[in-house]
């Protein structure tokens, strides 16, 4: 009785075994094998043994992100600052459930240790105490660590990517021909107008970033206080305040909003912080805002949302590389919680398409300033940012995520009605 020993498969054969349906792009590998359509306009090159280990031990976006970040997975003919076109192609890539034969073939190609996950790149973060109660997960210390991971990369890097506005939230484009900086200024104008701010008012901006909203308000005679959990943001923002001569009206401090003791603010803006709060903590968050805005005062919550209100993970790549502990939910959950704690919700709008355009602008800046960005943060981190910005753009285009502004008031029972008849702002 004779037996034949099956030959070790090529990398291309492994790919064909792992993928269901036709490949949307060309795949080449370090062993010289290739697969996928010859006519494909884009090629993904599997550069080495470690790339296969990353892909095999963490199937899906995490394995691909690891291999791409380290340079083990190469997107040929695509600028790493904007891999948008490849991301669109990969939407049509579907993996089969691994069967024993595929696992055996992988073991033969990778060797006895090949199915042990290689160490992840240094850009990956897995916060301690991952499986803990919500309260511990969003403790002061842990929130500060999560914010530090993403926002304290390099102020110069953010200047190169975000542009002069230093606004790291969704812009509001007056039209599709408007530039990114003008659209960011228009976003601050819209928030300012929705909050019906006037000279002499006092605004609290929670999670103020580099102080864009604080400085916009101060230029118009509003006293503005900002807090951020990023030390680098606070330093940059306070220096910008002094450069503009706004120190008598504006201030930004490195602190947790929960440490703010002053109450009676005329208005509160929360622009891009709710994503970091934790959905289970929404009642406490909005209750805190209700207690710190004056009766008759307005609050505006601006944050990334989902198109539904069902619990869903942000995904391994976003959680480990971009926003550790970040959570998203639908605008319905946000509005319901605001109403339940006592706010009157006056208005909401979805700016989803505006965020897709904003992200395209940031990718353009990353491509244009690529060499300087790499000099600031290293090529691996710059690659992560290109992947993150282009992938997020596609998510907003496909309605995987949205961006909602919700305007609400703390009613003053002694002088109803106190809110101006709408509209008092223009879209």
- Asked, for residue 1, whether it belongs to a domain, the answer is no
Please give the pLDDT value at position 95: 83
Beta bridge partners of 306: 330
- Count the Cβ atoms, other than its own, within 10 Å of residue 44: 27
- Residue 373 and residue 409 in one domain: yes
**Global confidence as pTM:** 0.91
- Residue 304 and residue 181 in one domain: yes
- Residue 151 and residue 223 in one domain: yes
Structural domain of 222? 136-415
Q: Is 330 exposed, middle or buried (0-12, 13-18, 19+ CB in 10 A)?
A: middle
- Residue 397 and residue 311 in one domain: yes
- Report how far residue 418's alpha carbon sits from residue 411's, in angstroms, rounded to the nearest whole number: 8
CB 201 within 8 A of CB 222: yes
Q: Is 183 exposed, middle or buried (0-12, 13-18, 19+ CB in 10 A)?
A: buried
Longest dimension (CA), the chain: 97
Please give the pLDDT value at position 3: 46
Please give the pLDDT value at position 417: 65
- Report how far residue 83's alpha carbon sits from residue 382's, in angstroms, rounded to the nearest whole number: 12
- Report how far residue 274's alpha carbon sits from residue 157's, in angstroms, rounded to the nearest whole number: 24
- Count the Cβ atoms, other than its own, within 10 Å of residue 66: 29
Mention every residue, 6+ apart, whose C-beta is less than 8 A from residue 361.
Answer: 163, 171, 179, 180, 183
Integer angstrom CA distances of residue 274 from 130, 131, 151, 256: 20, 21, 15, 13
CB 81 within 8 A of CB 363: yes
- Residue 219 and residue 353 in one domain: yes
Please give the pLDDT value at position 98: 78
- Residue 396 and residue 265 in one domain: yes
Query: What stretches in the chain show pLDDT beneath 70?
Result: 1-6, 127-152, 417-418, 427
If we measure between CA atoms, which residue out of 75, 94, 72 comes closest to residue 86? Answer: 75
- Residue 175 and residue 99 in one domain: no
- Asked, for residue 87, whether it belongs to a domain, the answer is yes
If we measure between CA atoms, which residue out of 293, 300, 358 comes closest to residue 334? Answer: 300
If we measure between CA atoms, which residue out of 40, 17, 15 comes closest to residue 29? Answer: 15
- Residue 225 and residue 92 in one domain: no
Q: What is the dihedral of CA 412, 413, 416, 420, to 10 degrees?
A: 20
Q: Which CATH number fits the domain that encloses residue 204?
A: 3.40.50.150
If we measure between CA atoms, which residue out of 361, 368, 347 comes closest to residue 423? Answer: 347
If we measure between CA atoms, which residue out of 209, 142, 125 comes closest to residue 381? Answer: 125
Q: What is the pLDDT of residues 22-80, one digit of tens each?
A: 999 999 999 999 999 999 989 999 999 999 999 988 888 899 999 999 999 999 989 99
- Report how far residue 215's alpha carbon sits from residue 263's, in angstroms, rounded to the nearest whole number: 21
How many domains is the chain partitioned into structurally? 2
Q: Please calculate the CA angle 197-333-329 and round it to the nearest 5 degrees.
A: 100
- Residue 227 and residue 278 in one domain: yes
- Asked, for residue 129, whether it belongs to a domain, the answer is no
DSSP states of 50-91: HHHHHHHHSTTHHHHHHHHHHTSEEEETS-TT--HHHHHHHT
- Residue 224 and residue 150 in one domain: yes
Q: Please calculate the CA angle 343-287-216 and round it to the nearest 5 degrees.
A: 75
- Residue 80 and residue 216 in one domain: no
Please give the pLDDT value at position 137: 52
Strands of 243-343, DSSP E = 250-254, 265-271, 293-305
- Residue 102 and residue 140 in one domain: no
- Report how far residue 272's alpha carbon sits from residue 119's, in angstroms, rounded to the nearest whole number: 32
- Count the Cβ atoms, other than its own, within 10 Å of residue 326: 18
Angle, helices 282-292 vs 331-341, to 10°: value is 50
- Asked, for residue 185, whether it belongs to a domain, the answer is yes
């Amino acid at each position: 009785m004779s037996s034949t020993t099956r030959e070790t498969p090529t990398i291309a054969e492994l790919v064909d075994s792992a993928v269901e349906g036709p490949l949307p792009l060309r795949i080449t590998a370090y062993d010289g094998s290739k697969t996928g359509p010859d006519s494909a306009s884009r090629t993904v090159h599997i550069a080495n043994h470690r790339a296969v280990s990353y892909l095999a031990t963490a199937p899906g976006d995490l394995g691909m992100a690891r291999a791409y970040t380290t340079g083990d997975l190469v997107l040929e003919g695509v600028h790493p600052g904007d891999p948008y076109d490849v991301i669109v192609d990969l939407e049509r890539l579907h993996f089969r459930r691994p069967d024993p034969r595929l696992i055996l073939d992988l073991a033969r190609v990778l060797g006895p240790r090949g199915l042990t996950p290689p160490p992840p790149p240094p850009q990956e973060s897995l916060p301690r105490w991952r499986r803990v109660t919500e309260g511990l997960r969003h403790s002061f210390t842990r929130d500060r660590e999560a914010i530090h991971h993403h926002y304290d990369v390099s102020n110069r890097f953010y200047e190169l990517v975000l542009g002069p506005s230093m606004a790291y939230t969704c812009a509001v484009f007056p039209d599709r021909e408007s530039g990114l900086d003008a659209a960011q200024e228009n976003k601050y104008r819209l928030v300012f107008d929705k909050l019906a701010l006037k000279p002499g008012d006092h605004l609290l901006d929670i999670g103020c970033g580099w102080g864009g909203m604080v400085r916009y308000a101060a230029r118009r005679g509003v006293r503005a206080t900002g807090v951020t959990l990023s030390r680098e943001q606070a330093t940059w923002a306070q220096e910008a305040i002094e450069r503009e001569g706004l120190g008598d009206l504006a201030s930004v401090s490195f602190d947790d909003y929960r440490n703010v003791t002053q109450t009676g603010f005329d208005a509160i803006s929360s622009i891009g912080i709710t994503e970091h709060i934790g959905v289970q903590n929404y009642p406490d968050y909005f209750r805190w805002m209700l207690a710190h805005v004056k009766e008759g005062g307005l609050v505006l919550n601006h944050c990334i949302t989902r198109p539904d209100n069902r619990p869903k993970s942000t995904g391994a790549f976003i959680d480990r590389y971009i926003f550790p502990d970040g959570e998203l939910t639908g605008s319905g959950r946000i509005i319901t919680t605001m109403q339940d704690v006592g706010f009157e919700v006056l208005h909401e709008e979805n700016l989803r398409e505006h965020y897709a355009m904003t992200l395209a602008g940031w990718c353009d800046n990353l491509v244009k300033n690529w060499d300087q960005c790499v000099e600031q943060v290293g090529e691996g981190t710059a690659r992560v940012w290109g992947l993150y910005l282009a992938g997020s753009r596609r998510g907003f285009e496909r309605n995987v995520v949205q961006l909602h502004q919700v305007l609400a008031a703390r009613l003053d029972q002694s002088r109803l009605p106190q809110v101006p008849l709408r509209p008092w702002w223009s879209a």
